[in-house]
A and B are shown apart, each in its own frame.
Chain A
Amino acid sequence: GDSVTQMEGPVTLSEEAFLTINCTYTATGYPSLFWYVQYPGEGLQLLLKATKADDKGSNKGFEATYRKETTSFHLEKGSVQVSDSAVYFCALRLGAAGNKLTFGGGTRVLVKP
């Protein structure tokens, strides 16, 4: 079946460090890919998305490129801030599934001043 695998956390890093969270997927079709972020005490919210191969999603300094050849959608940010501390979820959606999302396990990121 369809699945999403992302690196386990927690990831702890210092402010202004470079962040990468790996995400790979398995899907029977051509999915859309998403990154959602969950800040402490809040609900998940969409961070960025890409709907087809080679698309790059970007938002708030985060980027992720849809790589069909490696079935990956790694999340990157060049210089993190304390406010980026959160749990990040990679997810996929297949067109036939409507709006149903399949999530990865989530990666907790802690940025220290």
Chain B
Amino acid sequence: GAVVSQHPSRVICKSGTSVKIECRSLDFQATTMFWYRQFPKQSLMLMATSNEGSKATYEQGVEKDKFLINHASLTLSTLTVTSAHPEDSSFYICSAPDRDRSNTGELFFGEGSRLTVL
């Protein structure tokens, strides 16, 4: 099946710094990628939808200046957590549909990136 890779898988940073998380589709092209946040023992919360070549669409309540999303190519989307604070500590997951099989409704997920802000 299609593979989505996230990097880094774990990152620890100091409060006030910025952290970038990459999401790559390795063997397919994705015009859209979804960024989720998963809290402990809770479901995945959709944060935003990144669109290749245009601005991301953010869900209600998600600060777009806090969580910068860039979808630079058909295989790469990045999430940058700016001026991170401890409350931003979470598990961030990206997913993407295969552009050439989008009618199946299947999303392919990255392994997730655990962010810890000290």
Q: Name A's B-contacting residues (CB within 8 A).
A: 32, 34, 36, 41-46, 49, 51, 89, 93, 98-106
Contacting residues, chain B, for A46 (C-beta < 8 A): 106-107
Q: A45 contacts which of B1, B34, B49, B93 (Cβ < 8 Å)?
A: B1
Inter-chain CB contacts under 8 Å: number: 52
A100 and B43 within 8 A (CB): no
Establish whether residues B105 and A99, one from each chain, have CB atoms under 8 Å apart when the complex forms. Answer: yes
Q: How far is the CA of A42 from the CA of B4 in the complex (A)?
A: 11
Q: How many residues of B contact A (CB 8 A)?
A: 23
Residues in chain B within 8 A of chain A (CB atoms) = 1, 4, 6, 32, 34, 41-44, 46, 49, 93, 95, 97, 102, 105-112
Docked-complex contact A103 and B93, CB < 8 angstroms: no
Contact A99 B109 (CB under 8 A): no
What B residues does A36 contact at CB under 8 A?
A: 109
Contact call A99/B97, Cβ cutoff below 8 A = yes
- What are 28 pairs between A and B in contact, CB < 8 Å? A32-B105, A43-B4, A43-B6, A43-B93, A44-B44, A44-B109, A45-B1, A45-B108, A45-B109, A51-B105, A89-B44, A93-B105, A98-B32, A99-B32, A99-B34, A99-B97, A99-B105, A99-B107, A100-B46, A100-B49, A101-B34, A101-B46, A102-B46, A103-B43, A104-B43, A105-B41, A106-B42, A106-B43
Bound-state CA distance A104–B45 (Å) is: 10
Closest to A93 in B: B105
Chain A residue with the shortest CB-CB distance to B49: A100
Give the nearest-CB partner of B59 in chain A: A100
A63–B62 Cα distance when bound, in Å, is: 36
B96 smallest CB distance to A (angstroms): 8
Distance in angstroms between the alpha carbons of A42 and B97 in the assembled complex: 18
Residue pair A89, B34 in contact (C-beta under 8 Å)? no
A88 to chain B, nearest CB (A): 12
